[in-house]
Amino acid sequence: MLYVKEGGVLLKLDDWEQIYSRPNYVQDLDLKGKNLKALIGYYKNEPPRTCGIKSCHATHMKGGIVVTEDDLETCIGHICGSKIFKEKFDVLIQQIEKEVDFEIYKEAVATRKSRLFDYWRQAADLTSGTTGILRLAEKIALLRDPLSVGRFASMELIRMAANQNSKVAKEEWVQKEEKELTEEEKKDGKPKYKLEYLIVGQIRHVDLMLSSNDMKKLYQEEIEEVLRALQNLDLDKASKRQITSIGRAASAIEVRITRAKELKERAIEFLTRENLFPLYEKMLPMDTVSKNDLSLYENFINSLK
């Protein structure tokens, strides 16, 4: 992007010819003995530009349009300018870069603001119906609550999520085979047992129990709140600070919506009786699981489809 300052106003130019055709512009400027008068333009985020300094002519990723004290203009790279004109150039380029960044923010905010209708429609899709993201989040909140689904199930699911382990294993005493018996064990001829962990099933998307995947927070704070701020923002009256802070959040809005959609789809698969059943199967024979814990979890999974 190329920006030029005209009468104190920063303008975005689409065509470099507008620079090259200026009457005082020099493609090949010998800067020996010349001093910097002003910086009237700035460029970055575009194909590298050829440096106008006679002794350089390399291409640079970013830089500025300078005016020398004898009123000659050329385009020079950021580092070249800093080397030749030292601190004066550094101060000026930092100033204009800040202004350019703010213009870029403003543009991004304006673009997002013009798409608000579409964003709100997507937000409505996310929240509507029985599988709306907030309802799903509520159910996951219940699963995190020992009073709602019992202490065992709640802790077990959170533990599985933290360990990134979706497999449900239960302990079972199984009879040892003949070849596993020691000489000592063989003596009385009675069956001998060993404790084994048997995989009874898998709970898919158990990572949704993690607070980093909190759908309610994601929707309310990073989507709804941002859209509302964008809607209430008056671009002509807003302060730089307002535009910068809303711009930052708004630039991530599409990514947030995509993430919310993905979490919602996974939550629908997570919150089914069939998916959560293996944990019930594990709890059923356990003496350490109270009747109350078992029935709370059973009621919860039976309330699902």
Binding residues for Zn ion (CB under 5 A): 51, 56, 77, 80
Please report how close the Cβ of residue 73 comes to Zn ion at its closest, in angstroms.
15
- Residue with nearest beta carbon to Zn ion: 51
Please report how close the Cβ of residue 125 comes to Zn ion at its closest, in angstroms.
51
Please report how close the Cβ of residue 26 comes to Zn ion at its closest, in angstroms.
14
CB-wise, 41 or 77, nearer to Zn ion? 77
CB-wise, 77 or 247, nearer to Zn ion? 77
Please report how close the Cβ of residue 62 comes to Zn ion at its closest, in angstroms.
11
CB-wise, 43 or 270, nearer to Zn ion? 43
CB-wise, 75 or 218, nearer to Zn ion? 75
Instruction: Tell me which residue has tokens 């309802």.
Output: 135
CB-wise, 61 or 200, nearer to Zn ion? 61
Please report how close the Cβ of residue 70 comes to Zn ion at its closest, in angstroms.
20
Do residues 56 and 31 touch, judged by C-beta distance below 8 A?
Answer: no
